[in-house]
């Protein structure tokens, strides 16, 4: 018992040495987690699209249409770069990427208003980004509705209603828009939590894989487990290695979850205890999954060639981009294979919605199940590798004995 403990400790400390003396691994587990969140935060720093350049095709050329144009320019979303007299002109500017949207005011604009007819404003958005479409729609819609209300109120007051009565007819109910999480719709607030969780999982699995590939390259017969150490039992290997990675990543979490959101001002509603309840099964399941997968990597380059690309599909599997309610049953199941899926969703719920541990029960439970399953698979693959090393060693010893 005591010997087992001492051996586990030895493997644990040896893993620190393996990991921290390898420049390639250090870049992946230290440099990447430190640099990427800062880089992403700076890329998305402005967070929202404001003052998007648009042009107005003013076919009406009246004081009403010019007023409408001023109202558009006054919105936070839009900036009127000038007016054109024809749609062809506007399209020309659009093709040169000078403007991102076109708003057309019809010739009959003032007449329609004067004669109590409905008038039609057309807005054309750039196809390049949905954010542009969203921005143009919000700006143009706001001005159309506000101007429309003013016209209605004026008309009703001419009919003898007072301002309050007219207002109650035009707006019988008042909508109250409440964005839970990410009130301003900032892009970094969507992307950074996903990035943080993915960085943890991907760098962990890559680092464990690279260390395993390197071990195989350094061992005489390409075994994962060194042949010279006969005290390296399966559980000692799995526990020792896991302890090393867990402690390194626990420290990294302090930076990734504690410091980065504080510096850049992202939502931080989860308490230390709640986040620990989420991150513990996440780190453990990532480590055991990494150990399980590591037997597949024969050289130190293989993890980069065979696992790196999963980062983007995993980003989409999180359910933050494409909603989970619209996943097919197959992808819903496939998603459960990766700890990141539940960690991302749970992390966003805790940090931006203020969800409690109980409200994240589903995610936390799923990650504990993954921890259990991947622990078993990690033990199985290591047991196989330990036996393989022993057998090769025995074979080698017998050949040496025979030649002697």
Q: What is the DSSP string of 198-253?
A: HHHHHHHHHHHHHHHHHHHHHSTT--SS-SS-TT--HHHHHHHHHHHHHHHHHHHH
Among 3, 88, 176, 404, interactor with another protein by CB under 8 A: 176
Residues 158, 140: contact at Cβ < 8 Å? no
Among 4, 5, 6, 45, interactor with another protein by CB under 8 A: 45
Residues 218-277 that bind another protein (CB under 8 A): 218-220, 226-229
Phi and psi at residue 51, to the nearest 5°: 50, 50
Stretch that binds another protein, among 54-62, 213-221, 286-294, 364-372 (CB under 8 A): 213-221
Within 44-86, where are the H helices?
63-74
Q: What is the rounded distance in angstroms from the CA atom of residue 347 to the CA atom of residue 191? A: 12
Which of residues 217 and 380 has its CB atom nearest to another protein in the complex?
Answer: 217
- Containing 386, the helix (H) or strand (E) segment is helix 361-403
Residues 14-33 that bind another protein (CB under 8 A): 24, 27-28, 32
Which of residues 192 and 375 has its CB atom nearest to another protein in the complex?
Answer: 192
Give yes or no for residue 107 binding another protein (CB under 8 A).
no
Among 173, 329, 401, 403, interactor with another protein by CB under 8 A: 173
Give yes or no for residue 183 binding another protein (CB under 8 A).
yes
Which of residues 1 and 127 has its CB atom nearest to another protein in the complex?
Answer: 127
Which of residues 2 and 160 has its CB atom nearest to another protein in the complex?
Answer: 160
Among 251, 259, 263, 306, interactor with another protein by CB under 8 A: 306
Residues 123-162 that bind another protein (CB under 8 A): 123-134, 136-137, 140-141, 144-145, 147-148, 151-152, 155, 159
Which of residues 1 and 174 has its CB atom nearest to another protein in the complex?
Answer: 174
> What are the angstrom distances between the C-alpha of 30 and each of 215, 255, 280, 288, 390?
20, 11, 19, 20, 34
Stated length of the chain:
404
Encoding tokens for residue 177? 């828009």
Q: What is the rounded distance in angstroms from the CA atom of residue 332 to the CA atom of residue 25? A: 33
Which of residues 135 and 242 has its CB atom nearest to another protein in the complex?
Answer: 135
Among 38, 61, 98, 217, interactor with another protein by CB under 8 A: 217
Residues 346, 363: contact at Cβ < 8 Å? yes
Which of residues 2 and 159 has its CB atom nearest to another protein in the complex?
Answer: 159
Q: Regarding beta strands 101-105 and 78-84, do their DSSP bridges make them parallel or antiparallel, or are they unpaired?
A: unpaired
Give yes or no for residue 376 binding another protein (CB under 8 A).
no
Query: Among all chains, which residue has been given the structure tokens 């030649």?
Result: 403
Q: Give the nearest distance from C-beta 215 to another protein in angstroms.
A: 9
Among 1, 400, 402, 404, interactor with another protein by CB under 8 A: 400
Residues 55, 230: contact at Cβ < 8 Å? no
Give yes or no for residue 38 binding another protein (CB under 8 A).
no
Q: Which residues contact 242 (CB under 8 A, 6 or more apart)?
A: 284, 287, 288, 291
Instruction: Sort residue 124 into left (φ over 0), alpha (ψ -120 to 50) or beta.
Output: beta
Q: Give the nearest distance from C-beta 342 to another protein in angstroms.
A: 10
Which of residues 218 and 391 has its CB atom nearest to another protein in the complex?
Answer: 218
Among 251, 263, 305, 376, interactor with another protein by CB under 8 A: 305
Give yes or no for residue 44 binding another protein (CB under 8 A).
yes
Nearest in space to 214 (alpha carbons), one of 294, 155, 327, 153: 294
Residues 67-86 that bind another protein (CB under 8 A): none
Q: Give the nearest distance from C-beta 108 to another protein in angstroms.
A: 12
Which of residues 246 and 301 has its CB atom nearest to another protein in the complex?
Answer: 301
Q: Give the nearest distance from C-beta 211 to another protein in angstroms.
A: 12
Give yes or no for residue 168 binding another protein (CB under 8 A).
yes
Q: What is the rounded distance in angstroms from the CA atom of residue 284 to the CA atom of residue 289? A: 8
Q: Give the nearest distance from C-beta 78 to another protein in angstroms.
A: 13
């Amino acid at each position: 018992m005591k010997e087992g403990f001492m051996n586990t400790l030895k493997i644990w400390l040896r893993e620190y040495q393996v990991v921290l003396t390898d420049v390639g691994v250090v870049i992946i587990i230290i440099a990447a987690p430190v640099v990427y969140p800062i880089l992403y935060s700076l890329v998305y720093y402005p967070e929202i699209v404001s003052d998007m350049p648009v042009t107005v095709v003013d076919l009406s050329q009246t004081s009403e249409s010019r007023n409408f144009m001023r109202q558009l320019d006054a919105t936070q979303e839009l900036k009127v770069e000038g007016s054109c007299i024809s749609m062809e002109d506007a399209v020309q500017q659009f093709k040169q990427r000078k403007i991102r949207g076109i708003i057309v005011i019809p010739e009959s604009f003032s007449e329609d208003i004067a004669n109590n007819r409905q008038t039609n404003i057309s807005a054309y958005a750039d196809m390049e980004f949905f954010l542009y479409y969203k921005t143009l729609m919000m700006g143009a819609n706001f001005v159309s509705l506000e101007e429309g209300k003013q016209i209605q109120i004026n008309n009703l007051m001419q009919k003898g209603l007072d301002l309050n009565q007219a207002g109650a007819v035009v707006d019988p109910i008042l909508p109250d828009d409440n964005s839970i999480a990410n009130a301003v719709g900032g892009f970094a607030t969507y992307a950074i939590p996903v990035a943080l969780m993915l960085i943890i999982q991907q760098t962990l699995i890559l680092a464990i894989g690279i260390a395993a590939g390197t071990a195989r390259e350094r061992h005489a017969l390409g075994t994962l487990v060194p042949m010279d150490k006969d005290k390296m039992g399966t559980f000692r290997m799995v526990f020792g290695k896991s302890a090393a990675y867990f402690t390194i990543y626990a420290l990294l979490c302090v930076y990734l979850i504690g410091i980065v959101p504080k510096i850049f001002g992202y939502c931080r509603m989860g308490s230390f205890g709640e986040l620990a309840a989420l991150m513990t099964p996440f780190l453990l399941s990532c480590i055991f999954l990494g150990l399980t997968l590591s037997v597949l990597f024969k050289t130190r380059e293989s993890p980069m060639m065979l696992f790196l690309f999963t980062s983007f599909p995993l980003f989409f599997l999180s359910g933050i981009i494409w909603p989970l309610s619209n996943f097919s049953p197959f992808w819903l199941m496939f998603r459960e294979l990766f700890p990141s899926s539940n960690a991302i969703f749970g992390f966003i719920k805790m940090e931006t919605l203020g969800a409690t541990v109980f409200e994240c029960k589903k995610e936390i439970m799923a990650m504990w199940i993954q921890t259990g399953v991947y622990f078993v698979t990690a033990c199985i693959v290591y047991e196989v590798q330990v036996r393989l090393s022993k057998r090769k060693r025995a074979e080698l010893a017998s050949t040496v004995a025979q030649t002697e």
